[in-house]
Structure 1
Amino acid sequence: MASANIGPLVVTLAHKFCREHVNERLAIHTLQGIAVLASLLLAFFWHLDVRVGKKNVSIPYLSLVFVLSVVCCTSNVTFLPFMYNFSAQYVKTFFLGQGLSALLPSAIALFQGAGVAVCVNATVNGSSYEIQTRYQEENFSATVFFFFLFAVLFISAVSFIVIGATLRPERAGLRDEYRQEVYHDSNEVQPSLGETHHRPAFSPNMLFLLSILGLSTALSYGALPSVQTYSCLPYGITAFHVTAILSNVAQPVACFLTMLLPCRSNVIFALLSALSLLIGAYILTLAALSPCPPLLDGVAGSILVVLSWLIFSGVCTYLQVMIGSLLHSMSHMALLWCGLVIQSGSLIGALTVFPLINVYHLFKDGDPCYNSC
């Protein structure tokens, strides 16, 4: 996944050194075509492995997942700058689509039942009994799941073709109603139609927004998803699955809230960022204390961990959508940096947590059926 960030790097360098030759629409069509083909090939070849030395390695699976990872990482630095051609409202619907793209596969994976555990009484040594964790067989195979991904990506690609054929882009110089409100509230001199691209590349306000965005994505996309099982599973299977579902539901709900309750106040952004940091610290503490986090014996602990993940996901998504909308009002390059910061934050967050989990083993798995504390 980390190496897949070569995609955003290539796109960013292209915008830097040969911007006049960058065709964002063509790049998006290409990425979507690659994603559709890779997901289709996964459905047929995910189970194959290749003999390398003395062990079998799933080279087809790893290769195709890497291709999909490159597409996923690159999408933020292609779709977001492309959205500059349209009204700011489409930025919010873009993030709404991102939220749904996380919710739908997660819901299908939960329905598949892979990794679902049940607690059973098992006989030990023919005389005594103890509660053990047993994992159920999945309801359908991984092949079906990958065909579902193929269908979603295919529909997405067709939808983008339809949008390109039916939705007429606005000229970059035209300012929609949202952009006029931003200039009015910020007391800046509103530029003329030909001056939009000649403003300073980085204003203090833009740097502030990008900093908040980077912190939010580092936590919500990189660091905390890696420790979700450690923070939730000690409280039981139900708490874990409810958290997994509601944290994904919170993302599209937060996108709708940005349409009903928009915000352009840096003070509010700072307060929401501080709130996400506090909740994130609580979640990280629960994960670090696994398998014996606080309030393990009562229902209060389960409620708190579910609410923590729900509020955290909602707040981070709200910040990302509103900041993306504000950056849309600044410039095309601001949206490019928006996508780059989102991807960079995700990478930094993931790389920070990876050695803590896989090298130093600071987090311990909790058994949902047995309390060893």
Structure 2
Amino acid sequence: MALLTHLLACAFGTGSWVAINGLWVEVPLLVTVLPEQWDLPSYITIIIQMANVGPLFVTLMNRFRPGLLKEVAVIYVVVSVGVIACLLLSFLWNHTSVIAGKSHSIAFLILTFFLSLVDCTSSVTFLPFMMQLQPQYTTTFFIGEGLSGLIPALIALGQGSGISSCANVSYEVNITTGNETVENTISQLETQYLLPKFSTLVFFLLMTAMMLICLLAFFFLSRQPKVWELSQQQLFPGNIVLNSFDQILDEAADSQLSRGCSCSKDPKGQGDILPEKVSYSLTKLAFIYLLITWVSALTNGVLPSVQSYSCLPYGHTTYHLTATLSSMANPLACVVAAFLPSRSLFLMGFLTMAGTGFGAYNMAMAVMSPCPLLQQSQWGDAIIVLSWVLFTGTLTYMKVMAGVILRSHSRSALVWYGMLEQLGSLLGALLMFPLVNIYSLFKSADYCSLQCPVGRAPQG
């Protein structure tokens, strides 16, 4: 029975961020079809930030109308919306509408908002429910959260989404000179996209299946004995007192305040004894909060908005590998943090500088688009992929460290962690959206027909 409950907790955890993680790893294929093209990541980034109205609503309702929202009902609604949105996205993702004379993938963007709403709201609903069960199952839940990023990335690797090659295409043209018309053959390089091993429809149906598994897992988990129910039965036989959502929502904030990392911010897990309280000076706390805001702006707002401009000039294969491997870097960094936790402020500052350096390189390549450094070089391809993976990994580990440090300080310190993480993410997204979509500061071009300086032009 305990093994079954662990499996259910893990399956429940995979539904927390699987939909949005699935969108990100599928972006290399989506940008080749949807009219937003290279601007699509910036749209997804700003939509995810808009979806934070979900957890904000739940938190405000809990604060001002305590007891009105019940966690079981809220989770049923949230996960059901996720299943329906994923299913609709499977069939409507490539439908477009014309607005102001331009084609836009309105159906995709609207459904992306609902998926983001589901995943953002899971941060303040899933964990409060799990805290009602035996403590050992919460650790398993966080393993499932890590898999919510890893599984879509593995599926996308198997799919081979967005991979292309350059091919010489010949055209017959008629050239008129005076009274003569001469037929001439013109050859030029064009991008030809290789068919993925399975379609986007199948990919999103797999995401739908994972959300459905999450719903079924919750159905059975909600029928497991609750920790507080058991304690009440032992103290007062025959009088069962159920947990209410408002009693434990604040406790949830201690471990899952936002998307920053798909794992527990306390590597020891919820079931362990809380670490000894450590007091930090106001200066040290300000330093930590500044780093949290900065790192959140980079990882959740600034860099994701320009990932296509940073990677696509190196080819769709490079973009595909970057999107999938960097998605894997998040849960892997959480695993490293679980086994090698650190409370060193010096190491936190060093990792922030290192991650910022990798992010600066990625941003520089986006600014130089469509002709970045080392284009058409295997070194260039390897460096941009490695830079994105290290950018994600180092800054994810840094945020886990911050969570560990602040948890040992006080619960209110973690509340500020969540607020500043969301603030940084929002500021980063708001900064980049107009730069990408209104002022068009970043340039895109077809990979195979780029006109770049000598020595960096694509070859057939």
Fold conserved between structures, TM > 0.5:
yes
Matched, 1:145 2:203: yes
C-alpha displacement at 1:372, in angstroms?
Answer: 2.2
Paired letter, 2:185: S
Separation in structure 1 between the aligned mates of residue 405 and residue 350 of structure 2, nearest angstrom: 17
Query: Residue 341 of structure 2 corresponds to which residue in structure 1?
Result: 262
Contact 2:156–2:324 (8 Å) recurs in 1: no
Matched, 1:133 2:191: yes
Matched, 1:312 2:417: no
After TM superposition, the structure 1 = structure 2 runs for residues 249-288 of structure 1, keeping only pairs within 5 Å, are 249-288=328-367
Separation in structure 1 between the aligned mates of residue 222 and residue 285 of structure 2, nearest angstrom: 29
| 156, 159, 164: which one aligns with 1:117 | 164
Contact 2:136–2:271 (8 Å) recurs in 1: no
Paired letter, 1:72: D
Separation in structure 2 between the aligned mates of residue 159 and residue 9 of structure 1, nearest angstrom: 26
Distance 1:148 1:327, change over 3 A: farther
Query: Residue 216 of structure 2 corresponds to which residue in structure 1?
Result: 158
Larger radius of gyration: 2
Distance 1:351 1:206, change over 3 A: same
Matched, 1:289 2:365: no
TM-score w.r.t. length of structure 1: 0.78
RMSD over aligned CA atoms reads: 3.8
C-alpha displacement at 1:151, in angstroms?
Answer: 0.8
C-alpha displacement at 1:312, in angstroms?
Answer: 0.8
Query: Residue 196 of structure 1 corresponds to which residue in structure 2?
Result: none
After superposing the two structures, state which structure 1 stretch, 316-325 or 85-94, moved more.
Answer: 85-94
C-alpha displacement at 1:311, in angstroms?
Answer: 0.7
After TM superposition, the structure 1 = structure 2 runs for residues 327-338 of structure 1, keeping only pairs within 5 Å, are 327-329=406-408, 337-338=416-417
Paired letter, 1:265: S
- 1:257-303 Cα distance to aligned partner (Å, 9 max, x none): 01211112222222212221121111111110112222335333222
Paired letter, 2:428: G
Give the fraction of aligned pairs with identical amino acids, expressed as a percent.
40
Contact 2:190–2:449 (8 Å) recurs in 1: yes
C-alpha displacement at 1:308, in angstroms?
Answer: 0.8
Separation in structure 2 between the aligned mates of residue 86 and residue 344 of structure 1, nearest angstrom: 32
Query: Residue 3 of structure 1 corresponds to which residue in structure 2?
Result: 50
User: Greater helix percent: which structure?
Assistant: 1
C-alpha displacement at 1:127, in angstroms?
Answer: 2.7
Contact 1:234–1:368 (8 Å) recurs in 2: yes
Paired letter, 2:77: T
Query: Residue 222 of structure 1 corresponds to which residue in structure 2?
Result: 301
Distance 1:262 1:55, change over 3 A: closer
Separation in structure 2 between the aligned mates of residue 280 and residue 97 of structure 1, nearest angstrom: 28
After superposing the two structures, state which structure 1 stretch, 112-121 or 89-98, moved more.
Answer: 89-98
Query: Residue 70 of structure 1 corresponds to which residue in structure 2?
Result: 117
Distance 1:51 1:227, change over 3 A: closer
Query: Residue 8 of structure 2 corresponds to which residue in structure 1?
Result: none
Query: Residue 179 of structure 1 corresponds to which residue in structure 2?
Result: 274
C-alpha displacement at 1:356, in angstroms?
Answer: 1.2
Distance 1:87 1:222, change over 3 A: farther
- 1:55-98 Cα distance to aligned partner (Å, 9 max, x none): 98766554433222211222233345666668999777666544
Gaps of 5+ in 2: 1-46, 174-183, 232-247, 252-269, 453-460
Query: Residue 105 of structure 1 corresponds to which residue in structure 2?
Result: 152
Paired letter, 2:370: P
Contact 2:132–2:226 (8 Å) recurs in 1: no
Distance 1:22 1:268, change over 3 A: farther
| 353, 359, 367: which one aligns with 2:432 | 353
Query: Residue 444 of structure 2 corresponds to which residue in structure 1?
Result: 365
